[in-house]
Structures are given as C-alpha cells and as structure tokens.
Amino acid sequence: MRKALAEAELALHEGEIPIGAVVVCKDRIIARAHNLTETLTDVTAHAEMQAITMAANELGGKYLTDCTLYVTVEPCPMCAGAIGWAQVPRIIYGAADPKRGFREYAPRVLHPKAESKGGILEEECRQLMQDFFKSRR
C-alpha cells in the first residue's frame, strides 16, 4: 500500500485526484499506476483500470487470478467491474468511499470468491484526498 500511496502522490503533483494502485503477483509488483483522468481527458483512466491493463500486459493473459490489487481509495463501480472481469481474488484498499464506492453502488460485481478489505493506511490515503479537494476550493 505504501507503493500505491506513492503513486497517489504522483497524481497529486500532476493535479489529478490522488489515487494510486499497484498489482502484486507472487510477491512481485507487476503494475503500478495513478489516476490520469485529467491528463488523458478520459474518465476511464482511473488508477485501477490502468493497473489492470498493465498487469494483464505484463502477464500475457487477461485474468489476474494470482494477483492482489492495492488501491488507496475504495474502487468505484467501473473499476470494481473491471476487477471482477479480471477475476482478481484479493482487493486491498485504503480509504472507504461511501459516496462513490462499489460497496454501495455495485456490491456484487467482484468475482464471487474475491475478498476485499479496506482501512489499510486509511488515514494517509484519506488525508491525500482531503488535501486535494481542499486545495481546489
């Protein structure tokens, strides 16, 4: 999660909503990404989406069945849908997102056997988001 937070900080410096994601496969980081929706002018360029695409590219296969996704904020329904399609079995996130998160809006889109767990480095993940939105006001 520290590496995902480092990615989120990169996003912050680029004027992006500071969310970072990392995919780990067999103790090795195979993808790291941060939100690039402003830079790419593309709502689909969330950290998780890019990390999933990168990880599949690295592994040479669509399914990430041996992977863990770390992301600094609870995934939105779009990202959770992608995580479900990729059959990621383990999702670890930092800050909860009750207003936009998948648990409220799409609770059944992850793979049925997937586990998700939040609250890891929660305070730091949330603080980055708060700092960003405060600076925008």
Assess 57 for contact with a second copy (CB under 8 A): yes
Selected from 36, 49, 125, 129, the binder of a second copy by CB under 8 A is: 49
Selected from 3, 9, 10, 81, the binder of a second copy by CB under 8 A is: 81
Q: Pairing relation of β-strands 28-34 and 20-25?
A: antiparallel
From the list 8-16, 28-36, 60-68, 124-132, the region that binds a second copy by CB under 8 A is: 60-68
For residues 64 and 52, give the distance between their C-alpha atoms in angstroms, rounded to a whole number.
8
Do 72 and 17 touch, CB atoms closer than 8 A?
no
Backbone angles phi, psi at 80, to 5 degrees: -65, -35
Residue 111 known to bind ligand: no
Q: Is the dihedral of CA 27, 28, 33, 34 positive or negative?
A: positive
Do 77 and 102 touch, CB atoms closer than 8 A?
yes
Do 116 and 110 touch, CB atoms closer than 8 A?
yes
Of the candidates 7, 16, 48, 74, the residue annotated as catalytic is 48
From the list 19-27, 46-54, 112-120, 122-130, the region that binds a second copy by CB under 8 A is: 46-54
Minimum CB distance to a second copy, residue 77 (Å): 4
For a second copy, which is the closer residue by CB, 38 or 123?
38
Active site residues: 48
Binding site residues, a second copy, CB under 8 A = 37-38, 41-44, 49, 52-53, 56-57, 60-63, 76-82, 84-86, 105-106, 108-109
